[in-house]
């Protein structure tokens, strides 16, 4: 949606520019989203910076990614609102999300509601149901009934439920279950201190799942019953590898020669003095795919160095090398999928390259060798973790997109 809105804006802006007579007719210039003026309609499309001019992106997203809140945008107050949900609309906030409702699915059940003495429910949330509730003791049909005892095998409270099958016994230690039985009854069935959606047992329950874009994280983010389906997952020698997510395309992120004239200038910066950093870099879908970054050393650290790389790409890409510091230091043969880079840099500088871009599933087998001036090589994982690799030993980075559940 963001790309469609941006494309529409650029098209309209281009048409308007053809007949523009003053600068007021043109979109404001910008370097980042923060340079673009806020729109009058707070809940409408947010301003974004595209190709140096201000455009509009997606509608304002007030979601806080908390499955226990109802998220709304208030145009009048120009604020986002995130309140604990009330799924059954009885005025009591969901007990499964920390409120005081003891049944999130029944509007007749909430704290202070009148006890109905023959419906098998604890209407007033006092822990007693029907004839076991003192509110019902005056009824003739409850004259011989008493509160349920949870281990005597009798239906003490005359509700046709015995011992642990009686809702009155749900919190009794003798009735704790192995896991949460129901994920919308506001009861702690397994006595672990977590109720319903707050219990990890309920993570995949339809009533607890808040659909969002599927990520490669071992969870069912889009609530379709399948883990990581439709997501592109990356692996280093078969173990999950989290890519570096960036807002720009990999080549712009690498930014060689700007502002440092003798180095790659990645933001966020993954360079490391006396070490080689390898990372999978993933930007917006419009960039044409992910890339593998190899960056040797840090600038002005007192030592230069040398390094060679040999790689094999499957499937064979057309370019192989998306970007390198110097035009003649890397070669790639698209017919065989084989390539190599040979780097030599001074103490002032860094060296490296971007392999890719990879528009689909791929594998890259790499070997870094002939190293001097760099003592170690790391794979960048996630938000900053590093995994130690070895010189002169091949390692493999692959991407796989899992099929979407039909």
Q: CA 20: distance to chain centroid?
A: 42
Q: For residues 185 and 183, what is the distance between their CA atoms, to the nearest angstrom?
A: 6
pLDDT at site 16: 40
Q: Which of 111-120, 285-294, 317-326 has the lowest mean pLDDT?
A: 111-120
Reported as a pLDDT band with limits 50, 70 and 90, residue 22 is very low
In this structure, the number of other CB atoms found within 10 A of the CB of residue 342 comes to 15
Q: Parallel, antiparallel, or unpaired: how do β-strands 376-381 and 275-282 relate?
A: parallel
The H or E element spanning position 6 is helix 2-18
Q: Which two tokens stand for residue 261?
A: 């004239």
Q: Do 301 and 312 touch, CB atoms closer than 8 A?
A: no
Q: Of 364, 356, 351, 353, whose CA–CA distance to 241 is shortest?
A: 364
Reported as a pLDDT band with limits 50, 70 and 90, residue 40 is low
pLDDT at site 383: 67
Q: For residues 249 and 106, what is the distance between their CA atoms, to the nearest angstrom?
A: 50
Mean pLDDT for the chain?
83
pLDDT at site 145: 78
Q: Do 369 and 308 touch, CB atoms closer than 8 A?
A: yes
The dihedral formed by the CA atoms of 264, 390, 335 and 332, expressed in degrees to the nearest 10: 30
Q: Give 44's DSSP letter.
A: S
Q: Which of 178-187, 318-327, 343-352 has the lowest mean pLDDT?
A: 178-187
3-state secondary structure of 86: coil
Q: Give 280's DSSP letter.
A: E
Q: Do 364 and 398 touch, CB atoms closer than 8 A?
A: yes
pLDDT at site 77: 84
Exposure string (b/e) for 310-339, b if CB count within 10 Å is 16 or more? Answer: ebbbeebbeebbbbbbeeebbebeeeebbb
- The average pLDDT across 212-241 equals 84
Q: Parallel, antiparallel, or unpaired: how do β-strands 69-74 and 53-59 relate?
A: unpaired
Q: Do 274 and 375 touch, CB atoms closer than 8 A?
A: yes
Contacts of 181 (CB under 8 A, 6+ apart): 189, 190
Q: For residues 38 and 6, what is the distance between their CA atoms, to the nearest angstrom?
A: 16
- The average pLDDT across 202-218 equals 78
Q: Of 289, 215, 277, whose CA–CA distance to 246 is shortest?
A: 289
Task: Look at residue 17 and tell me whether its pLDDT is greater than 60.
Answer: no
Q: For residues 69 and 74, what is the distance between their CA atoms, to the nearest angstrom?
A: 15
Q: Do 104 and 91 touch, CB atoms closer than 8 A?
A: no
Reported as a pLDDT band with limits 50, 70 and 90, residue 273 is very high
Q: Of 300, 405, 400, 398, whose CA–CA distance to 347 is shortest?
A: 300
Q: Give strand pairing partners of 353.
A: 294, 324
């Amino acid at each position: 949606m963001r790309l469609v809105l941006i494309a529409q804006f650029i098209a309209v802006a281009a048409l308007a520019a053809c007949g523009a007579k003053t600068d007021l007719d043109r979109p404001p210039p910008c370097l980042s989203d923060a340079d673009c003026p806020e729109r009058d309609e707070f809940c409408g499309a947010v301003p974004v910076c595209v190709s140096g001019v201000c455009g509009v992106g997606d509608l304002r997203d007030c979601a806080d990614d908390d499955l226990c809140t109802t998220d709304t945008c208030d145009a009048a107050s120009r604020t986002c609102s995130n309140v604990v949900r009330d799924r059954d609309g009885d005025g009591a906030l969901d007990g499964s999300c920390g409120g005081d409702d003891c049944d999130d699915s029944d509007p007749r059940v909430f704290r202070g509601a009148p006890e109905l003495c023959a419906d098998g429910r604890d209407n007033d949330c006092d822990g007693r149901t029907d004839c076991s509730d003192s509110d019902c003791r005056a009824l003739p049909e409850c004259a011989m009934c008493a509160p349920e005892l949870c281990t005597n095998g009798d239906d003490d409270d005359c509700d046709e439920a015995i011992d642990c099958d009686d809702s009155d016994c749900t919190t009794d230690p003798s009735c704790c279950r192995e896991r949460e039985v129901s994920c919308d009854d506001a009861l702690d069935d397994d006595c672990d201190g977590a109720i319903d959606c707050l219990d990890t047992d309920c993570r995949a329950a339809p009533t607890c799942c808040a659909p969002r874009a599927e990520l490669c994280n071992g969870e069912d983010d889009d609530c379709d019953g399948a883990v990581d389906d439709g997501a592109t997952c990356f692996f280093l020698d078969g173990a999950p590898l989290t890519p570096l997510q960036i807002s720009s395309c990999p080549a712009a992120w690498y930014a060689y020669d700007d502002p440092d004239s003798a180095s790659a200038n990645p933001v966020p910066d993954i360079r490391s003095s006396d070490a080689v950093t390898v990372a999978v870099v993933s930007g917006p879908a419009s960039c044409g795919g992910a890339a593998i970054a190899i960056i040797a050393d840090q600038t002005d650290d007192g030592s230069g160095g040398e390094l060679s790389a040999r790689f094999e790409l499957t499937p064979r890409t057309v370019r192989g090398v998306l970007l390198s510091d110097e035009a003649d230091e890397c070669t790639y043969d698209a017919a065989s999928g084989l390539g190599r880079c040979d780097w030599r840099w001074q103490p002032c500088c860094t060296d490296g390259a971007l392999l890719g871009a990879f528009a689909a599933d791929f594998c890259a087998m790499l070997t870094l060798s002939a190293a001097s001036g760099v003592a170690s090589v790391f794979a960048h994982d996630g938000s900053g973790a590093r995994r130690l690799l070895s010189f002169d030993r091949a390692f493999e980075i692959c991407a796989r997109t899992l099929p979407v559940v039909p």
